[in-house]
Amino acid sequence: MKPAIAIIARVGAHQAFEAAGLKPEKTEVYPTPYGDSRPVHWFRHGGLEFVVLSRHGEAGYDLSAPFLNPRANLYALKALGVEKILAWVAPGSLNETMAPGDLVAPHDVLDEGRGGPHTYYPGVGWGFIRNNPVFCPELRAALLQALAGAPFPVHDRAVYVATAGPRLETAAEIRKFRFLGGDLVGQTLAPEVFLARELEFCYVGLTYVVNYAEGLVERPYQPGVLFEGLATPEEAARVRAVEAAFPELVLRLLPALAATGRQCPCPRLMERYRLRGDIGADWRTWVR
């Protein structure tokens, strides 16, 4: 059976679902033309099958953002018949109203990183895909509706600035991103969202703020602690509370996300190339 949705999360997400009482049905690493996918964990809940993949590591933060392999992960998910993706990411905030521990569903992306392979279609004339809206509008609407009543502040719009990483930004870079209209800064949503669109996934991002970005608030430099002191212990505690709620939060969203009917543009993002006869029915023959 096709999974109803894939959750691409950060570190050890499968363990969080197991701790919430779910038993994984299976775990598999899928070989792809781009290398192996991260392990894909299959779960079932309330009659829905879903898969979970952790970008950065199974137990610890083993792989920093520029060394992720979103092409392999998305290829594997596509091969499993996945059509929808919820991307769970943890950015910094450029916006004083978006505090550590808040949930934010970005509506737009400013790609300031452009790291790593960012297309499935090098060397051909395909992939000139419109990116407004950049996240699936149907999945985003369902997500926001299902988030109503969540035990955390929820922000329904934000511009996510993507940087290459792994380093954090200078204070001047953060001033620039704020000037450009950014609300969040992180290292993972791009190129992932753009690659997902090339494979016609419905893709939506749900973020939780983990720190105020550099220079937004006055914080002494503290070697040896998380973000070198960019986040206070109180903020870190709020972040841990969201992380602890992650599996329950996803399970609460699952029925709404599974129910969207894909009347959005996402299943036809490559339609122009189909109509032109450049690509056929089998997406495996599209990618390079």
Interaction site with ligand HPA (CB under 6 A): 90-92, 163, 168-169, 185-187, 210-211, 213
Grouping H, G, I as helix, E, B as strand and the rest as coil, residue 211 is strand
Nearer to ligand HPA, 169 or 198 (CB): 169
Least Å distance between CB 84 and ligand HPA? 24
Nearer to ligand HPA, 126 or 177 (CB): 177
Q: What is the number of alpha carbons within 13 Å of residue 223 lying toward its C-beta?
A: 0
Which of 13, 3, 4 lies closest to 89, judged by CA?
Answer: 13
Least Å distance between CB 85 and ligand HPA? 20
Residue nearest ligand HPA, CB atom distance: 92
Least Å distance between CB 123 and ligand HPA? 31
Least Å distance between CB 112 and ligand HPA? 10
Determine the Cα–Cα distance for residues 24 and 21; give it in Å rounded to an integer: 10
Nearer to ligand HPA, 105 or 213 (CB): 213
Sign of CA dihedral 227, 143, 81, 1: positive
Least Å distance between CB 61 and ligand HPA? 11
Which of 159, 118, 124 lies closest to 285, judged by CA?
Answer: 124
Strands of the sheet containing 48-57, edge to edge, are 26-28, 40-45, 48-57, 5-11, 84-89, 202-208, 103-104, 154-155
Which of 46, 20, 85, 92 lies closest to 249, judged by CA?
Answer: 20
